[in-house]
Structure 1
Amino acid sequence: MKALRFILSGKTACFRKPDVNVFAYFTYNNIHKPALLGMLGAIIGLGGHNQLFDKKKRLEVELKNSKGEEKKIVEKKLQEVDKELPQFYQELQHFKIAITPLAPSSNGYFNKKIQTFNNSVGYASDEGNLIVREQWLENPVWQILILDDGSDVFQKISEYLLGGKSVFIPYLGKNDHPAKIAEVKIVELLPFIKEQKLFSLFEEDKLKIAKSPSRGEPSYFFKEVSPIRLNEQHHFYEYANLVFTNHKIENENVEDVFSYEGNNYAFI
């Protein structure tokens, strides 16, 4: 089994949570799968949420200017667009991906700071100047592994990353946070190593782990409710508890877990 492996990093990142309090916007601690798929889609030129929104707006304008049978056809197209997922997600959602937080995070947690800035565009506020507070990750670094499924789109992503090419600029959540992609290579994966810990995020309900780490090793257990897919009907995030820990796996048989350079990685 082969996989595409690379190091993803940035000076800052913000993967904004949809639930917002009155003080600030908050970020997920790690890049989540839908965001990562969106970045890969941008690299090879696939359409995203903005393109889907623009398509819907064009059809709404067309609907206003149409009559009779033509209007019925446009209405049908508009209904289909409401159910349509972004192009990147349609083509990449089947990928299995392993995400590993790296230094300066040794336990899955990155430092965060609240940034305050003005949003003075006309539609941001009736007063013309909106104060925005947003939480940013500082110097995040991840190792990413993408399982080779033999598809043409995997080959295209591999070609672009290995060749340092990109159609759109990749960023970490927002275009304020450009992404750096380095150390890209195709690697060989081996079977899961029993009675060893995982070196990636994994879904809590799919694996059983020991109550304590190996003797003499300080314990860490990071858990976050994180998006893992888009809901096909409403396009909302669907969530899972993702864990990063140095406790060993107790399962005898596991799915979508492989080893690379002597370490286990779970593919979500």
Structure 2
Amino acid sequence: MNNGIIVKGIGGFYYVDTGDRIFECRARGKFRKEKVIPLVGDRVKITIQESSGQGVIEEIEQRETELIRPPVANINNAVIVFAIQKPEPSISLLNRFLILAETQEIDITICFNKIDLLQDQELSDLMGIYEKIGYSVIGTSTKQGIGLKDLSQKLMDKITVFAGPSGVGKSSLLNAIQPNLRLQTGEVSSKIERGKHTTRHVELLQLDFGGWVLDTPGFSSLSLDFIGEDELQYFFKEFNEFVGMCKFNACRHLSEPDCAIKKAVEENQICQSRYESYMQLLEEILQTRRY
């Protein structure tokens, strides 16, 4: 059998890179019976049918990580891309992406793109919110060639999910880093300030300088209802030093008295917008549980 990695999956066919070439493969029926769906990023063992040259996925190695959206396996790095303008960044959606990545305990970098469109002070204030929490933050501009070297270093020798809403410039950034990728790019609608979906499927792309990157379809919303109501607080990194200091052990940091998290917000130790995202997500999780 040959070892490889699934780099793309479309319509029941999986494309497996063995290092020498990419084979179009089907998965054994046993996976359907076991309710296991092969994912892009899976390390697999395949057999090759001499008559057709196609492959069959025989085994899927144990996954180190597994994201639900986008559905990918064995990612160890995440670059979350948001534009500074065109479209305007949704801080709520950015926080959702961060929480999703935190659930997998992978390295996270926030990339604010199109920084040529914003004044330096406004950019510094926005980046500072996340740098204070402890996130790695970089600013990029494909038009001015800013930050591309820093971004390349974040991708080197890692398997990275490159995620964010449509229209923020994910494909343009990857094309700037490695032009031979020739990824399709789209303009932002002037009427609705929303990007067009140019990436149709999840695909793992090999980088010349080492590593793999997933250019994923953009999302305008992101559900996190798989997270438990008591777990959510632990995925907000800046909450950690205050968790356990509340008057009540089961404090949800909403309307309870003597809440250490709410006090930290009042004292600007926790950013108000981050706390608002926490409250919004918790309410969504609780609402889902009611039904």
State the TM bucket, normalised to the shorter chain: under 0.3
- More helix as a share of residues: 2
- Greater relative contact order structure (CA < 8 Å, 6+ sep): 1
Larger % of strand: which? 1
TM-score by length of 2: 0.25
User: TM-score by structure 1 length?
Assistant: 0.27
